[in-house]
Amino acid sequence: MIFPDEDRPKVTEILKQAILAGYRYIDTAPMYATEDLRASGVPRSELTVVTKLVQTQHHDPKASLRESLARLGVGYIDIFLMHWPNASGEDGRWRSIEESPTFVETYKKMEKLVGAECRSIGVCNFSQKTLDVLLKECTIKPVVNLIEVHPYNPNLKLVPYCLERGIRVISWGPLGGGPKSLYFDTSPMYSHPTLTSLASRYNRGIVPIPHSASRARMDENLRPVSLTDQEVEQISNMHKQIGQRRLIDSVPFAWGEVPGKGHAIMGWTVQEMGWEDAAGNMLV
């Protein structure tokens, strides 16, 4: 989530309350404008700090890492993630999938950063298609793949694909943006009989990234909920009734027209991203 400057004092207090409640995984990124929110009474060694590679710096991940370290005021990052496989130039033009730096070229540069200042590396928003390419070329396997996972987009094939290869799955948007989602109307999901009778936590080996301004809800999020295999399957199959949607589809600045390719996200077609087949069917 991206926060405007006027909200930063409020966000600082929210993060302090989250850490006091017991949260230890801190997910940040330069584009979220949250990296310099440092207030915490917890030793650095108890926190898992994650940040992401800026898309305009795919040619120089080291510079992006150093800038993040400075903003965060820490000596090392626990997990440094490639935010998207798509690269952008400082001129604002999205690079095509064939143009350098490719995500493989960028990841190889990230591998060289693993050490004292960068404990591990991973990726975000990678599909099975892009992971297939990366895993054939990399020498350090991504520790995580942070992807969109919720009942509208359960990624039933990608999640086990990652887990079988020892890649941890972290979910962004696990609740589809919530009952008052800014992305699209989620009322069909929240009124679905499955969710009205079951807890909305998954039991699929996925780490969800919750966000809340309420200390009470922060405490609730830390209380584990175990679902039966049947209940998990019911949630995973909800997309068959409520439809399939991606949250990122509702982010206007991410999309545009590419000459010769048509509608694309950050310069790539959804087929190049590995999100849909040639007929336009979502690969869930």
- For residues 78-99, give the mean pLDDT: 95
Calpha distance 32→53 (Å, rounded)? 12
CA dihedral for 187, 188, 189, 195, sign (positive or negative): positive
Q: Average pLDDT, whole number, for the chain?
A: 85
Range scoring the smallest mean pLDDT among 33-42, 45-54, 189-198: 33-42
pLDDT(178) > 60: yes
pLDDT(165) > 90: yes
Indicate if 32 belongs to the active site: yes
User: Is 192 one of the annotated binding-site residues?
Assistant: no
23, 32, 76, 183: the catalytic one is 32
- The DSSP code for 284 is -
pLDDT category of residue 96 using cuts at 50, 70 and 90: very high
What would the pLDDT profile of 184-193 be if each residue is shown by its tens digit? Answer: 777 887 777 7
pLDDT category of residue 103 using cuts at 50, 70 and 90: very high
Which element (helix H / strand E) includes 263? strand 262-265
Calpha distance 159→131 (Å, rounded)? 12
- For residues 237-265, give the mean pLDDT: 91
3-state percent breakdown (helix, strand, coil) of the chain, nearest 5: 35, 15, 45
Q: What is residue 199's predicted lDDT score, i.e. its pLDDT?
A: 45
Chain-centroid distance of CA 75 in Å reads: 23
Q: What is residue 2's predicted lDDT score, i.e. its pLDDT?
A: 44
Q: What is residue 8's predicted lDDT score, i.e. its pLDDT?
A: 63
User: What share of the chain in percent tops pLDDT 90?
Assistant: 51
Domains of the chain, CATH where assigned: 5-251 (3.20.20.100)
Range scoring the smallest mean pLDDT among 24-28, 95-99, 209-213: 209-213
pLDDT category of residue 18 using cuts at 50, 70 and 90: confident
pLDDT category of residue 20 using cuts at 50, 70 and 90: confident
CA separation, residue 201 to residues 90, 153, 156 (Å): 39, 15, 16
3-state secondary structure 64-132: HHHHHHHHHCCCCECEEEECCCCCECCCCCECCCCCCCCHHHHHHHHHCCCCCCECCEEEECCCHHHHH
- For residues 244-251, give the mean pLDDT: 90
pLDDT(202) > 50: no
Higher per-residue confidence, 97 vs 226: 97
pLDDT(50) > 80: yes
Higher per-residue confidence, 32 vs 240: 240
Range scoring the smallest mean pLDDT among 16-20, 100-104, 218-222, 257-261: 218-222
CA dihedral for 202, 174, 110, 8, sign (positive or negative): negative
- For residues 225-238, give the mean pLDDT: 83
What would the pLDDT profile of 117-161 be if each residue is shown by its tens digit? Answer: 999 999 999 999 999 999 999 999 999 999 999 989 999 999 999
pLDDT category of residue 85 using cuts at 50, 70 and 90: very high
Q: Which amino acid is at 221?
A: N
Q: What is residue 97's predicted lDDT score, i.e. its pLDDT?
A: 96
Higher per-residue confidence, 202 vs 219: 219
- For residues 238-248, give the mean pLDDT: 89
